[in-house]
Amino acid sequence: MLLEDQRFIHEDLERLEQAIADRVAEEPRNIRDRLARDHEVAKFLERIEDQSKRLLEIYKDADGLREREVQSISTGEQFDEFYKQLGELKEHHKRYPNEPVENLELAYKRRQPVEGEPHFNEIDNMFTGEEGFGQYLDLTAMHEQYLNLPGVKRLTYVQYLEIFDSFTPPAMSIKRKDKVSDRYFGYVGELSSYLESFVKKVRPLEDSDKLFASLNEEFEKQWSAKAVPGWTEEKSENSTSGPTTEGTGEGIWCADCEKEFKNENVYRNHLTGKKHIRAAEARKAAGTSGEKTSTSQIIPSAHSLKEREVARREHIIRSLTDVLKGERQASRINVERRQGMTERERQMELEALMAGPEIMGPDGQAGEESEGEDEERIYNPLKLPLAWDGKPIPYWLYKLHGLGVEYQCEICGNYTYMGRRAFDKHFSESLHIYGLKCLGITSNTNLFREITNINDAIELWGQLEKDRKRDRDSRDNVVQMEDAEGNVMPERIYLDLQKQGIL
């Protein structure tokens, strides 16, 4: 039956290729549908790989079964072989009468959702609400673990999103000796695991195993060259005086006592101890080794192995964060935006995201909706500003902020500002400051707040110039001096003439 298996696999591969082509030709409505399609295509590719391996084994025919089957059909009695295989099929179905038959024609067709029937897929349970179907990172749990680490700065979640991939001062002040603690070891382990799983979820069509292998290979090179950031110092912070090997990741092993020593002086003192002498004699008497009793081996210590693993996890976190730099930046912006929203608004946003209101274009960017949907979405007879969900803000909020009041500034070129808030803000913006400079006003711009008329600004500037000139004159004319001839003059002029020898 190998020929039938071979034919079945060929048919399966062709239908898999057609299923992938059909799904790639589709235009996903939103990011949810795009991820669902990509994960489905990834499963098809995985099955193609498995079936191809199985087909290759059949063609190799290491045991010769396929060749014997071909010979029996081509050289023997054809009908005898046919009825033999037919009998085997009947006997198989008698044993398993309810065994379903796999229909490849329907196996890979996409099932169209029935109207009124809820449609769910694995994408709905793959991401948390904070991740927004892979658009953002959800590091809230990691942030809590980070705050519980000893000696770290108290950072907000937004600040943590900026520095979570930095493990050297000043971003992180944890010392190297504290990085081998179980709490920190678990923290970097969970953070690296989360980033790895996130990459697999948002990029199912990429070869993630190849990416992770390249990161590990890159780390091995940096570790051998002692170029891993934060781990370049050879001297351990915990090392005592003496030729210890802890900083280089090695210890001294006593084969007789089966014990490791990190300090050479301690090891030498150990050799003269009674416990070591008894262990050496017992080992020699048992004849378990022909080596000298004082033979020592240089092996990696458990402490150094833990340091290496911590450094490897830090390297993976840094590298994957660079891969996910777009999602990281979007996460920070999203958190800042959601901080100004109410709980009801957050829930409405999540429901809108689940419903998939955003139409995706061929390049994966947001496209345009149909004409009818677009008209319904932007229906705004009062010309109200749009809120975060693309809908007009409530009218009461529009009135509360005074967005219907127009403020015109002649200095800015008769630009109109809607609302008092925008009007107050524009006095410190570059457009208004540039308008003042064009009028010759180069200093004390804060004194010109609330002034929008050009003539008023020029008049105020002229008055300020007169006041400054009057102040200078008054300072110069406070003390009057009289020369021998009776001429009265300011003290400054009198002293100048006296220095020149004129008086």
Answer yes or no: is pLDDT of 287 > 70.
no
State the pLDDT at residue 416.
85
% of the chain residues with pLDDT over 70: 81
Answer yes or no: is pLDDT of 142 > 50.
yes
Is residue 201 within 8 Å of residue 42, measured between CB atoms?
A: no
State the pLDDT at residue 52.
93
Nearest Cα residue to 228 out of 215, 244, 210, 245: 215
Answer yes or no: is pLDDT of 363 > 70.
no
Mean pLDDT of 339-354: 68
Residues 6 or more apart from 332 whose CB is under 8 A from it?
A: 158, 161, 162
pLDDT in tens, 198-208: 999 999 988 88
The rounded distance, in Å, linking the Cα atoms of 236 and 209 is 34
State the pLDDT at residue 244.
35
* The residue to which tokens 């690296």 are assigned: 192
Mean pLDDT of 209-216: 91
Instruction: Of 107-121, 271-285, 474-488, give the lowest mean pLDDT range.
Output: 107-121
Is residue 468 within 8 Å of residue 481, measured between CB atoms?
A: no
* The residue to which tokens 């709980």 are assigned: 343
Instruction: Of 301-305, 306-310, 364-368, give the lowest mean pLDDT range.
Output: 364-368
Residue 112 binned pLDDT confidence (cut-offs 50, 70, 90): low
State the pLDDT at residue 357.
41
The rounded distance, in Å, linking the Cα atoms of 101 and 29 is 34
Mean pLDDT of 443-457: 86
DSSP state of 251: E
pLDDT in tens, 387-424: 767 778 887 777 787 877 888 899 988 888 888 888 88
State the pLDDT at residue 302.
62
State the pLDDT at residue 188.
92
Residue 63 exposed, middle or buried by CB count within 10 Å (0-12, 13-18, 19+): exposed
At 349, give phi and psi (nearest 5°): -65, -40
Residue 316 binned pLDDT confidence (cut-offs 50, 70, 90): very high
Average pLDDT over the chain reads 78
Bigger pLDDT: 21 vs 260:
21
Mean pLDDT of 217-221: 91
% of the chain residues with pLDDT over 90: 16
Bigger pLDDT: 168 vs 361:
168
State the pLDDT at residue 198.
92
User: Could you tell me the two tokens for 221?
Assistant: 């090179």
End-to-end alpha-carbon separation of the chain, Å?
A: 130
Is residue 164 within 8 Å of residue 191, measured between CB atoms?
A: yes
Nearest Cα residue to 233 out of 215, 220, 217, 246: 246
The DSSP-derived string for 443-503 is S-GGGGTT---HHHHHHHHHHHHHHHHHHHHHHHTSSEEE-TT--EEEHHHHHHHHHTT--
State the pLDDT at residue 233.
56
Q: Is 392 helix (H, G, I), strand (E, B) or coil?
A: strand
Task: Give the residue ranges of DSSP H helices in 148-273.
Answer: 157-163, 182-202, 208-224, 264-271
Answer yes or no: is pLDDT of 195 > 90.
yes
Residue 196 binned pLDDT confidence (cut-offs 50, 70, 90): very high
Answer yes or no: is pLDDT of 296 > 50.
no
Is residue 109 within 8 Å of residue 40, measured between CB atoms?
A: no
Answer yes or no: is pLDDT of 72 > 70.
yes
State the pLDDT at residue 476.
62
Instruction: Of 4-18, 166-180, 431-445, give the lowest mean pLDDT range.
Output: 166-180
Bigger pLDDT: 32 vs 296:
32
